[in-house]
A = this chain, B = another copy of it.
Amino acid sequence: MARWEPDAEGRLRDAAMALFTERGYDATTVGDIAERAGVTARTFFRYFADKREVLFAGSDDLERLMVTGLTAAPASAGPMQAVAAGLCASGEMFAGRRDFARRRQAVVAASPVLRERELIKMATLATALSDALRDRGVAAEVASLAAETGVAVFRVAFERWVTDPGGPDLAEVVRTTLADLADLTPG
């Protein structure tokens, strides 16, 4: 039983991640998570619709941060620079959460169902970024290329960030990865 903390949502998240890691995602029930967190299943459902949502509750925040960051880029920024601003803006929600993110990646990687859900999340993100670029007046073809490429960069940068515990923060890793991409695609 975890010691009492006022943050039931945070405790549920930590309990879920610990159990997913120990027993696997499929073998963990909502009842197990609530028990480990020292709350009732009823309390669990006040915060999450199901156990999968513990892993994907941040998706909307991630999209909102990226779209806001992209939209706030100066009018003079090109499509890829605006996407870069969006990707970097997501860094704030991951500050201090690298360990959680690393364990989450491992749980997702171990489950075909969760990997599919993650792919859908990334595709949804690409659509949102593309739409936000079009709102800035970027042509549809360019918008989708910049958005799809941006999400590819984000996936790679995120993987680099979680696997380098003492390394730079996510925004910095995104910038480095974008620079690597520029080196790979000489004009």
* Residues of chain A at the chain B interface (Cβ within 8 Å): 78-80, 115-116, 119-120, 123, 141-142, 144-146, 148-149, 151-153, 155-156, 159-160, 177-178, 180-187
Contacts and interface: CB of A to CB of B under 8 A. Distances in A.
8 contacts: A79-B184, A115-B123, A145-B177, A148-B155, A151-B152, A178-B185, A182-B186, A187-B187
B123 A141 contact: no
A114 to B, nearest CB: 13
B156 A145 contact: yes
A155 B115 CA distance: 19
Nearest to A178: B185
B153 A145 contact: yes
